[in-house]
Amino acid sequence: MLDYETLKLVWWVLVGTLLIGFAITDGMDMGVGSLLPFVARNDTERRIAINTVGPHWDGNQVWFITAGGAIFAAWPAVYAAAFSGFYMAMLLVLFALFFRPVGFDYRSKIDHPRWRSAWDWGLFIGGAVPALIFGVAFGNLLQGVPFRLDELLRVHYQGSLLTALLPLLNPFALLTGLLSLTMLTVHGGLWLQLRASGEVAERSRRLVRLLAPLVTLTFGLAGLWLWSAIDGYRIVAEPSHAALPNPLAKTVVRAAGAWFDIYHSQPLALLAPAVGLLAPLLTALLASARRPGLGFVTSALAMAGIIATAGLAMFPFIMPSSLDPNSSLTVWDAASSHKTLTVMFWAVVIFLPIVLAYTVWCYTRMWGRVTAEEINRNSHSAY
């Protein structure tokens, strides 16, 4: 049986893996939705784009649900604090996500241009808004969240619920939101180039070629901003990592450049930002060369590198506090019990390979380009 400290670290890796899996799979669907108004000029072309993700989007969204469930079970304190501090942002994401299942299911029920156009814009909102807000959330985590814990470990936030959303939309968070939106849009564009046909694939190729370098640019700017203008967090005293969780038992200070400590102490960690910077440029080259399959792989590597960079920079912090740094929640003091982490770990060991195998089987069975001829032959299909 794994010891408590090791399990805490394992679950940090597993949650990060789930977030990367969500970005690669469901992020692809969101990217397609974000590109829908720009790559498709008529109903047939829009149906081509939608049908590339139609059979898979609901399965891909399971990664998002699983990541949320894993955070709830592994880090209940983080789950509770995040749902309080990011409540309005999460509601905005939820309302935007409503458009996806309804849009996919109802778009083709009525053969009327206004009806279908309305649902197409709904699919755009369901793709672009969550992609933006997820990045905004990461930007705010890096700056610190305005909460504190009292002696009973109850969470107290600064500000009211009605004004909670506006402070989240600060300049740095909007930059990271733009990074997230661009990153997922590029990934969706590569999927369209790989699975769509005709002008939809060609327009997607041109957009990927333009947007992929923007991923590198925004990622680099966010890193420079973080280095030069945003203080990080550093633990200067704490109990044993195997101790029972108590967030107030440690001492935390804020210091310039503290978010980059791990890259000084563990140079191998520099691979993550290097991949995050270089992979989008390689993606643009592969898209231009009409190699969308390899481009899709490099795009996935770029997202993994960017997400891993943020996770490594913050480690071991999960949710830093800007009001009281000692109240910050970390990998070591926000975890569930040893037994809970153990049971969940073996559940993952058993069921994750099954889920992955089923997912690969689904993509294999439904592989192929979506063409205008196929769309016209199946004018009454679900999408």
Distances in Å between the Cα of 147 and the Cα atoms of 86, 177, 232, 317 are: 11, 22, 16, 14
Instruction: Give the model's confidence band at 161: pLDDT under 50 very low, under 70 low, under 90 confident, else very high.
Output: low
Q: For residue 209, tell me if it sits in a domain.
A: yes
Whether 3 maps to a domain, the answer reads no
pLDDT 10s digits, 280-333: 999 999 999 999 999 999 999 999 999 999 999 999 999 999 999 999 999 999
Q: What is the C-alpha to C-alpha distance for residues 192 and 205, in angstroms, rounded to an integer?
A: 8
Decide: 382 and 54 in contact? Cβ < 8 Å: yes
Task: HSE, CB side, 13 Å, CA atoms: give it for residue 252.
Answer: 28
20 and 34 Cβ atoms separated by less than 8 Å: no
Degrees to nearest 5, angle at CA 358 with 354 and 361: 140
Chain-centre distance for alpha carbon 25: 10
DSSP state of 33: H
Structural domains of the chain, count: 1
Beta-carbon contacts of 9 under 8 Å, excluding residues fewer than 6 positions away, are 331
Mean pLDDT confidence for 23-44: 91
C-beta of residue 208 within 8 angstroms of C-beta of residue 190: yes
Integer Cα distance of 185 and 187 in angstroms: 5
Give the pairing type, strands 251-256 and 329-330.
unpaired
In a domain, 2, yes or no: no
| Per-residue confidence (pLDDT) for residue 381, from 0 to 100 | 59
Q: Is 4 among the domain residues? A: no
H-helix or E-strand spanning residue 128: helix 113-143
* 143 belongs to a structural domain: yes
pLDDT at 373 over 70: yes
Three-point CA angle 191, 193, 194, nearest 5°:
60
3-state secondary structure of 201: helix
Residue 98 lies in a domain: yes
- Domain holding 176, by residue range, is 9-377
What is the chain's percent helix, strand, coil content, to nearest 5? 75, 5, 20
What average pLDDT does this structure show over 337-353?
91
For residue 382, being part of any structural domain is answered with no
Helical segments of 255-337, H only: 261-265, 271-288, 292-314
Neighbours of 257 (CB within 10 A): 15
183-210 pLDDT tens trace: 999 999 999 999 988 899 999 999 999 9
Q: Which residue in 244, 309, 215, 303 sits closest to 271, CA to CA?
A: 309
Residue 382, pLDDT score: 56
Task: Please give the model's pTM, rounded to 2 decimal places.
Answer: 0.92
**Helix 62-74 / helix 338-365 crossing angle, nearest 10 deg:** 170
Q: Please determine, for residue 347, whether its predicted confidence score (pLDDT) is greater than 80.
A: yes
Residue 124's pLDDT band (cuts 50, 70, 90): very high
pLDDT at 158 over 80: no
What is residue 380's predicted lDDT score, i.e. its pLDDT?
58
Q: Which residue has the tokens 């992979």?
A: 279
What span, in angstroms and rounded, lies between the C-alpha atoms of 299 and 212?
A: 9
The answer to whether position 100 is within a domain reads yes
- Of 37-41, 103-107, 255-259, least confident by mean pLDDT is 103-107
